[in-house]
Chain A
Amino acid sequence: MEKYGRTLLAKIWDQHVIARIGDDTDLLHVDRHLLHDLGGSRGLLDLKSRNLSVHNPELTFATPDHAISTAPGRAGTSKVGQELLGGLRTETSAAGIEMFDIDEPGQGIVHVIGPELGLSLPGCLIVCGDSHTCTHGGLGALAFGIGSSELTHVLATQAIIQRRPKTMRVKFEGRRPFGVTAKDLILALIGHVGAAGGTGYAVEYAGNAVTDMPIEGRLTICNLSIELGAKMGLIAPDEKTYEYLRGRSYAPQGKMWERAVEAWRQLPSDADAMFDREVVIDVEKIIPQVTWGISPEHVIGVDGHIPDPLEIADPVRRAAIETALDYMGLKPGAPIIGTPVDWVFIGSCTNSRLSDLRAAAEVARGRKVAPGVRAWVVPGSEMVKRDAVAEGLDKLFTDAGFEWREPGCSMCLAANGETVPPGQRSVSTSNRNFIGRQGPRARTHLASPATAAAAAISGAIADVRTMER
């Protein structure tokens, strides 16, 4: 018998072991494989070229999101984007894989639609050729991103080879202060442990700030796991999870639903479970966060000052800060508030769900985007879009001077030429402020939807707490 209780990770992991094949390394069953336009057809064509077929097309689902245009009417999808979309249609249809196509309910950013359709379930092992697959961990799934070769492997075998990661538990304790969102919590954590703090770990988020948090916020928290280096992030399923999933079209129904919930109730980590590392974050001390540099770990509270390299003793860190400030065009030691912005992007698998759009709308309502600022709102999915339109959010945003667009990844990774122009500064609700991420020489500040909306209205980085009503 084991000496200590078992973690959520261990319980899910053990349920998926087909065979032990090495030191701490197992062949695991894949319950859901999600494909998108950037890598989906490539994987299916790769399989064909090896004379292999898809092992379980009924457990594989596809949607275009990365390389399609999000302009109204999908105008301006690049030639190669169109080829990838066409390829995804042809190859999924030939392989018997269900695809959620543009303009259909179900289409959207792959990490938005999985939970929304009930494809992603607690205890489920989910992979996708995208590093933000960790998002689905917000429902208590074991979900992680894979590369192209692994993608082909999963198509061919419905299984994946993985070494069991170490475990880290992060407890977010305390009540979230006014103006502080899930995004601020996870950015603050990344600032605290660093962009490599979670490398080699699966991170379980716990604590009362997480149990109190609605599912969409939990998805945001898990989404940024990869930005602290952890390929997997997960949160124990609870009544909120079941309430969120109940009745969703691809979730189990009727008797099957009852049975599933019964099984899911066994998943949370035992009280005496041991983790390789524990971190506790006092949520009450967190204020709205904004990044100043070229890694998500370059983050400060919105009332903070841009670091001054001269004050840093360690030469490696000093050089890193100098490089970041040079790229970002920021003045050492200056307050971050008041930094003028050119672009605002509200969207991405991090922050494009209905609650995110509502939070931004709350700030934008009755106000105007500052002159000279272009602000985009890109809903995460066709269903988010329809729900938002039904509430009048599209009109609210366009009245305020925002552009309302079609669902997709858009300016988060700029795969369809939707870029921030060189040298321009954006406040973005996405997940990466890397060099060139939003376009060559684009300067990205990551923030929550509310803080991004505040920047659009103010024309500069602003403290949303002074603007919220």
Chain B
Amino acid sequence: MPKPFTKLTAIAAPIMRTNVDTDVIIRIDRIVGNSVRGHLGKWAFGALRYLPDGSENPAFILNREPYRRAEILVTGPNFGCGSSREAAVWSLQEMGIRAVIGSGFGDIFFANCFQNGILPIVVDKEIVDGLAVEVENTQGAGRIGIDLQEQTITSPSGKRHSFEIDPRRRAGLLEGLDEVSLTLQRDDEIRAFQASDRVERPWIHFVGKSA
């Protein structure tokens, strides 16, 4: 069950490249297996974070103070595009990230964030760029505030921006709801749908049959 998300004021790290894909967030060889969770934080952004000899790349933002302690990522366009691997979200979570702010995200990554209690916020590119500049101007010391109840972001200098979010998803995050149990409460509706659909579209339900 995801942890509830209400408010957060935290260090933010701008990762402003375009099209940061989920392969870059977590490489496949780190996520093959059923017991990878809990060991992923170290490998998030591995290709950017480490040099070929395995040492830290000092040029990468998450290897620098105070960004190492970031709980928010400010991201370039189309962050999280590509593969559906939920381990991309797990790896961010395991390195302490609780929210991502960008002008657009990969659709599947976006959905996976909510499933894990991570808040992805979509705002205009100008706002994202402004937040990144403010953070960089304070060398990362300036914190970003997020209030999900109020649907606002507060920049390091105190500028407030409101953001839109699907009310159902907002409620899910605020309360840390588990979608599986919620949907199972509707099992009568699911079974009723299937009963009438078996008549309507029998070829869906009686796979490979002739009548």
Contact = CB atoms under 8 A, between A and B. Distances in A.
Contacts of A249: 208
Contacts of B81: 195-196, 199, 229
Interface stretch (A147-155, A233-241, A282-290, A369-377): A147-155
A413 interface: yes
A159 interface: yes
Given A80-B32, A157-B180, A195-B19, A18 B82 contact: no
Interface in A5-50: 15, 18-19, 21-23, 25, 27, 29, 31, 38, 41-42, 45, 50
B187 A157 contact: yes
Interface in A408-423: 413-417, 422
Given A119-B207, A147-B86, A414-B29, A200 B107 contact: yes
Contacts of B208: 118, 249-253
A193 to B, nearest CB: 12
Contacts of B32: 38, 66-67, 78, 80-81, 84, 415-416
A181 B32 CA distance: 33
B166 A23 contact: yes
A364 interface: no
Interface stretch (A332-340, A342-350, A391-399, A428-436): A428-436
Contact of A21 (B16, B28, B52, B168): B168
B211 A255 contact: yes
Given A81-B32, A150-B111, A27 B166 contact: no
B142 interface: no
A415 to B, nearest CB: 5
Contacts of B145: none
B189 A19 contact: yes
Given A67-B32, A158-B190, A434-B24, A150 B115 contact: yes
A242 interface: no
A196 B104 contact: yes
B71 interface: no
Interface stretch (B3-11, B93-101, B154-162, B198-206): B198-206
B122 to A, nearest CB: 10
Interface stretch (A52-60, A209-217, A271-279, A300-308): A52-60
B34 A87 contact: yes
Nearest to B105: A199
Given A41-B34, A67-B32, A27 B210 contact: no
B180 A153 contact: yes
Q: Which of A52, A147, A195, A414 has the most CB of B within 10 A?
A: A147
Contacts of B104: 196, 199-200
B179 A131 contact: no
A252 B28 contact: no
B133 interface: no
Contacts of B108: 131, 145-147, 226, 231
Given A18-B186, A29-B194, A149-B86, A436 B19 contact: no
Given A252-B210, A253-B208, A256-B209, A29 B193 contact: yes
Interface string B76-119: 11100111111101000000000000001111100110011000
A100 B108 CA distance: 27
A29 B180 contact: no
Interface stretch (A257-265, A354-362, A447-455, A456-464): A257-265
Q: Give the 9 A-B residue pairs with the shortest CB-CB distance, closest first.
A: A254-B210, A149-B115, A22-B168, A252-B203, A253-B210, A147-B86, A147-B112, A196-B78, A148-B86
18 contacts: A23-B168, A58-B205, A131-B83, A131-B108, A146-B111, A156-B184, A196-B19, A196-B77, A196-B81, A199-B81, A199-B105, A200-B104, A229-B106, A253-B209, A256-B211, A432-B21, A436-B23, A437-B23
Given A80-B33, A256-B209, 5 more contacts: A22-B168, A131-B84, A157-B187, A253-B208, A432-B82
